[in-house]
Amino acid sequence: MDVSGKVALVTGGAVRVGRAVALGLAAAGAHLALHYHRSADAAQETVSEARRLGVDAVAFQANLANPEEAWALARAAEAHFGRVDIIVHSASPFVRASLSGTTPELWRQVLGVLVDGFLVLARELTPGMVARREGGIVVILDRGTLDPWPDFLAHSVGKSALWALARNLAVELAPHVRVNGVVPGPVLPPPDYPEEEKVRIAQSTLLGRWGHPQDVVEAVLFLLRSDYITGEVLFVDGGERWAHRRPVGLRQTL
Ligand SMILES: NC(=O)c1ccc[n+]([C@@H]2O[C@H](COP(=O)([O-])OP(=O)(O)OC[C@H]3O[C@@H](n4cnc5c(N)ncnc54)[C@H](OP(=O)(O)O)[C@@H]3O)[C@@H](O)[C@H]2O)c1
């Protein structure tokens, strides 16, 4: 896929990693349907920056846990641009709660954004991709996708379900729409993250350091451009998932 001139919908695209992906797509020449939930000012800033890169960009607000708002987002994006060729689903509430703290409301909110909202976007936007015989979807996952992460129960289950959904869509929508996932490792700490935690997490990767949102951008662009890859997941995690296999003397943090 040549990303240039395509229309990309990026969910959660106003801030942080989602913003980097949105601007990476804009820098590659894609027009931008930029979704946000609460970060209205940041969304406008990101849209302005994308326009300075020479593409059309519009911000759309939606709570993706509400299927009607997800549906309206898809309709509004298609109405403005006439088409959507790419979806990057990055929006993701990050809520620490194990079983006892996971209320039905929290569960619905987190899985609503990760799974239900994405399902609605895919249902609404992939028929156009199929008709045009070209489309690319990338879902942004994380370490909870394949491994249990009971401190973030809903998040972990939601990411696993999102990846299951994406794999199913890769099969159903082939050959013209490709669906892949990226599993970032630690690429951007929350703003007030304690220094000692940052060090501990850096050491929990094989490469001994944090990555950068741009590492995720490169992976997303690679998957969109790689016409012979679908139903695949790409880890961009500094080897975090293999760190427990290090020889005992090297396992500083385990
Ligand atoms: N940061 C990392 O190191 C890291 C590591 C692994 C994976 N990831 C993945 O990368 C992606 C972005 O991570 P991040 O750290 O940049 O995220 P973040 O700072 O936690 O931002 C959360 C994003 O989700 C959106 N969102 C939250 N609730 C929503 C709702 N109800 N409806 C629609 N959107 C909603 C937010 O939109 P608004 O701000 O507009 O409200 C925001 O864009 C996520 O999928 C995350 O799992 C990040």
Q: What is the pLDDT of residues 189-225, one digit of tens each?
A: 999 999 999 999 999 999 999 999 999 999 999 999 9
Count Cα atoms within 13 angstroms, Cβ side, for 183.
20
How many angstroms is it from 253 CA to the middle of ligand 1? 27
In this prediction the pTM is 0.97
Supply 21's token pair. Answer: 């992906």
Please work out, in degrees rounded to the nearest 5, the angle formed at the alpha carbon of residue 160 by the alpha carbons of 163 and 24: 50
| DSSP β-bridge partners for residue 152 | 97
- Please check whether residue 245 lies inside any domain of the structure: yes
Q: Of 173, 67, 179, whose CA–CA distance to 118 is shortest?
A: 67
How many angstroms is it from 51 CA to the middle of ligand 1? 23
How many angstroms is it from 111 CA to the middle of ligand 1? 13
Supply 52's token pair. Answer: 């300075």
Structural domain harbouring 128? 7-250
Work out which ligand 1 atom sits closest to the CA atom of 211. Answer: 3
- What type of residue is 228? Y
Work out which ligand 1 atom sits closest to the CA atom of 12. Answer: 43
Rounding to the nearest 10 degrees, give the CA dihedral for residues 91, 114, 71, 126. Answer: 90
- Please check whether residue 1 lies inside any domain of the structure: no
- Please check whether residue 2 lies inside any domain of the structure: no
How many angstroms is it from 132 CA to the middle of ligand 1? 30
Distance, in Å, from the CA atom of 113 to the CA atom of 73, rounded to the nearest integer, reads: 13
pLDDT tens profile 119-128: 999 999 999 9
Cα 77 to chain center, whole Å?
18
Domain count across the chain: 1
- Please check whether residue 171 lies inside any domain of the structure: yes
